Chain A
């Protein structure tokens, strides 16, 4: 128990460019296991790119990025809800549940839908959901497989007050058991949970 665990994410001179455009340059940081890193900065400063790199959705163009968490233990929620508009809430979660091989899939999906207040709407098309409901569904999707590393990009966007409070509670509950990388432009809300902070200019 007391052995020093290696960091979950370690970046050395991490850089990413899209063609001529340099988005990230020479970034160094580490997130220890069960750490909570807050990424802050204005729009267009590279927060999203950093999160996509850490989630394995993009590969760095320079430097090193080591993510020790395997792909099936990463939960990612970004700008887009990543759910099929034509499928219902339950069908969407079922699809991801099968891909992630979630044990006791149905129970887990039902519990999450209930907790995020989507149970009533479980058989409606995700396309008919409001922005806030889609965000809730997106969070359900990200938490479905009980990830050990949570990568959240502006998790509060689109949520109403009730939804935001729900997420507060959820994050507080998950905080001891998982590693977090969260981008936000409203750091005050998450500051109490954070163990480190990476600020972009």
Chain B
């Protein structure tokens, strides 16, 4: 158990270090989410409700996550670096967990900027929205990281990831929008927890198969 945690920490630290050096994922996500919010301002006619804008916030989050996920396995895919990690004596699911943690960190950082920006551009957000975003992030990242590894094997790569990911993101959007717009968000938050638990477990368990040749 401690070995496992240590492996995950080493691998996640490596991803953060790579990002610190290359600086291509996080700035891209930040720029993307702000641009998306600006586009949404013009997509909403002046009398549309705040509720519509809440929905668009979720669209922004899902697609920003996609931007990050597309980059998740780029370093490992180029020059088959994933082999180096597979050779190492760590449990293979640790590779998934570490990658998910680093993507979660990027997505969280992007949202730390995006949520206040949203509040400034559109309308204030309550604690239930923040809680829903945090819960949704976990589910999005769990599923997305596994699918990013799947997409890294395919010929079409960046093209196929959204196709694989979006049908699975629909329940997250439903849970998130529900929690942001209704008065008593308990049910929706509970649903997001369920989604996180179920998909985190099957993603964790199936990663080994995805990278096996």
Contacts and interface: CB of A to CB of B under 8 A. Distances in A.
Nearest to B78: A85
B50 interface: no
Chain A, interface size category, equals: 20 to 34
B80 A80 contact: yes
Contacts of B22: 86
Nearest to B84: A82
* Secondary structure class of chain B's binding surface, majority of residues: helix
B213 A58 contact: yes
Contacts of A82: 79-81, 83-84, 87
Contacts of A59: 212-213
Contact of B87 (A57, A87, A95, A125): A57
Interface stretch (B13-21, B109-117, B147-155, B157-165): B13-21
A188 interface: no
B90 interface: yes
Interface string A6-17: 000000000000
A96 B213 contact: no
Interface residues of B, number: 24
Contacts of A95: 10, 14
B201 interface: no
B88 A78 contact: no
Interface of A: 52, 55-59, 70-72, 74, 76, 78, 80-87, 91, 95-96, 98-101, 125, 141
Interface of B: 6-7, 10-11, 14, 17-18, 21-22, 75, 78-81, 83-90, 212-213
6 contacts: A57-B83, A59-B213, A82-B80, A82-B83, A96-B88, A99-B11
